[in-house]
Structure 1
Amino acid sequence: MTGKRIVIVTGGTLGEWFVEEIKEGDVLVGSDRGALSLIEYGFQPYISMGDFDSVTEEERDQIRASSHTFIDCDPIYKDLTDTEMAFEWALAQDPSHIILLGALGSRFDHSLANIHLLRKGLSLGIACTIIDASNEIILINMPTHIRRGSYTHVSLLPLSMEVTGITLHGFQYPLRQATLQIGQSLGISNVLLEQEGLIELETGLLLVIQSKD
């Protein structure tokens, strides 16, 4: 798996939009009900894993039969969420990029925990992105170029207690050597003026959330 892109489809909010995010050559990982979503849209998961407490016995059997590899675990006596299990497996494959689909949804606790997973990828130097129908989320700790694409807004939120030395290039609302602390909304709803912008920073962990209304 070294150097390949791994796409994890998990059990949050999904729809037809997620199919467009899957590219030829991607290694597909189904996490709990996300595995069923992959199969329903005609994909074969390379590996499906989780406790599968959100599917029926028939659906579990379907997932098992349709996956290259199937790993299940006890839903009570486990320490990791299904998504974190899949994410840990993906990190161990030394991929070029991990994409998380279905990682955001009605369970805010799971959504927030999944956003925190980005820190693990960053610490290992593996690019990780969470995507849903309206948002694309990355975590950075060094100068990073971002492309506008179909997104209308860019928000910056610290994941560490503070992020220092933030300078923005190509944005409607500029920052220069700014510091953002947890609890501030200064970085919300900026706009890229061109197709590409640059975010510089000196210290800290910064969430970059691109959104469309």
Structure 2
Amino acid sequence: MNPRTLIFSGGALGDWARALIRPGDRLIGADRGARYLVEHGYAPDLAIGDFDSVSAAELAAIRAAARETADCDPVDKDYTDTELAVRRALQERPRELVLVGALGTRLDHSLANLHLLELARRSGVEASIVDAHNRVRLVTQQLQLERSAYTHVSLLPLSERVAGITLEGFRYPLREAELALGQSLGISNVLEGERGSIAVRAGLLLVIETHD
């Protein structure tokens, strides 16, 4: 089985990010995400991007540490550095894909990275975005949740409508409900017990586990 792959991007990163790394993980650094890995003693399996967010000295350190470096022209490219990393990772069919540093102050990049969960889904790869306070996954059929450090679970449609949403084990259950873009009905639910389930009949549903 192919290893779990973690992609480190140039958004918000901290000590919490390194705590996600497990033995055997494949590590990909996208632009500043590669700098973060190298600065903290990790050798990226792949460093990818146009590297316009790092200095010449930092880029030299990345090249020296990374097992492979893939440079992209900063002007003549169609994808963000994170999407380039995701597309490269999906070619390798990872067991699981985790995007780290994919959320931050750039709302445009954050939203684009959330949409990459659909790219992974179409490739048949389980994917999530994790930061210091959130874990985001995309559900089109079913998801089992267990009680964790996340205190709330929110549901937001990524498609125009999501139909047939059924929640079990939550404080506010739903049965065959529908969510449309622009609705906040699914915000801030809570697991009542140790486990819960989310089922969807049609559409793309973002499941956001969060804590303050």
Specify the TM-score bucket, using the shorter chain as the normaliser. over 0.9
Once the two structures are superposed, what CA deviation does each residue of 1:10-32 show, in whole Å capped at 9, x if it has no partner? 10000010011110000000000
**TM-score when normalising by structure 2:** 0.98
Q: Which residue number corresponds to residue 134 of structure 1?
A: 133
Report the Cα offset of residue 41 of structure 1.
1.3
**Which stretch has the larger CA shift, 174-183 or 2-11?**
2-11
Q: Which residue number corresponds to residue 87 of structure 1?
A: 86
Write the letter of the residue equivalent to 1:143.
Answer: Q
Q: Does residue 68 of structure 1 match 2:50? A: no
Report the Cα offset of residue 3 of structure 1.
2.3
CA distance in 2, matches of 1:158, 1:3: 30
Q: Which residue number corresponds to residue 57 of structure 2?
A: 58
Q: Which residue number corresponds to residue 142 of structure 2?
A: 143
Report the Cα offset of residue 108 of structure 1.
0.2
CA distance in 1, matches of 2:83, 2:112: 9
Write the letter of the residue equivalent to 2:133.
Answer: S
Report the Cα offset of residue 176 of structure 1.
0.9
Unaligned runs of 5+ in 1: none
Show structure 1 runs of 4+ deviating over 6 A: none
Q: Mapping of 1:1-213 within 5 angstroms?
A: 3-213=2-212
Question: Percent same amino acid among aligned pairs?
Answer: 51
CA distance in 2, matches of 1:88, 1:147: 30
Write the letter of the residue equivalent to 1:142.
Answer: Q
Unaligned runs of 5+ in 2: none
The number of residues matched between the two structures is 212
Query: SS in structure 2 opposite 1:74?
Result: coil
CA distance in 1, matches of 2:78, 2:185: 36
CA distance in 2, matches of 1:132, 1:210: 11
Aligned-residue CA RMSD (Å): 0.8
